Amino acid sequence: MEEKIVSLKQQGLTLKQIAEQLDMPIGKVQYAWRKWRAQHGEATTAAAAPKRKTEGKKSMKPKPKATPATSVKQVASTLQHDASKQSPLLDHAPDGFWKLPDRYDADMMHAVVQSPNAIYVFWEVSDDVKETLAMQFMRPWEDLPKAFRILDVTLLDYTSGHANRSYTFELPEMTNSWFVRPLDPNTTYVFEFGIRTMEGEFLPIVASMPLDTPRAEPAGVGRFAEPVRRWQYGEVESPELLDTLPKYAAYRFVR
């Protein structure tokens, strides 16, 4: 294959034309051409080294100018030690480029804050889990109803199973990401992806780590500032909360 590439190159074809004619990735053609140039450049340099000494003794005639082919080989030999090694991934990827996989066959969920009122969530479920659930419910994975749950766990331990509030909604099949909005600023959320059982209950499969949305306004300094200050500095054992507010609202100004 290397001989064909060299032969076509000497005929005046470009590397891109050679790749199209031989139906090969451009990366393979470039690698083979560099390798050939480097090998022949070394051989030419090694053979010419001892001749320079004898020529200098016999005659003082000026050296003939190097032909273009010789110059190319010498340049390739000189730059050989600077050329970086080509990744083997380029030999197997289409068009000489390595592409990221579409999925990693792993169970995971990640959430990224977009604004105080929006979070982007994406997830993946492994084939093993899909097969296990399909066997458990005796239905293909594609036929199991998918659902998404939003949990407000502000000032709570998510692992304890408690939440201030939650909301669950159905998802279209083949969905693996969602923009969750509108959300409350300065609130801690956990997101879960799962399926609906035959009884209609939500069965979580993957969950995100707790994530805080940013504030939408500066820290409060109004009617709640003094009660929060007394709790913050240990003047009272528990926060002085107002019945007109959620039980965790006063903490938002000191979190």
Domain residue extents for the chain:
2-96, 108-212
10-14, 191-195, 239-243: which range is least confident on average?
Answer: 239-243
Whole-angstrom Cα distance, residue 208 to residue 21?
A: 50
Compute the residue count for the chain.
255
In this predicted model, what pLDDT tens digit does every residue of 68-92 receive, in sequence order? Answer: 544 555 545 555 544 455 555 555 5
In this predicted model, what pLDDT tens digit does every residue of 111-129 receive, in sequence order? Answer: 999 999 999 999 999 999 9
In this predicted model, what pLDDT tens digit does every residue of 146-199 receive, in sequence order? Answer: 999 999 998 888 888 889 999 999 999 989 999 999 999 989 999 999 999 989
Per-residue pLDDT at 35? 80
The correct answer on CATH 2.120.10.30 for the domain covering 108-212 is no
Per-residue pLDDT at 138? 93
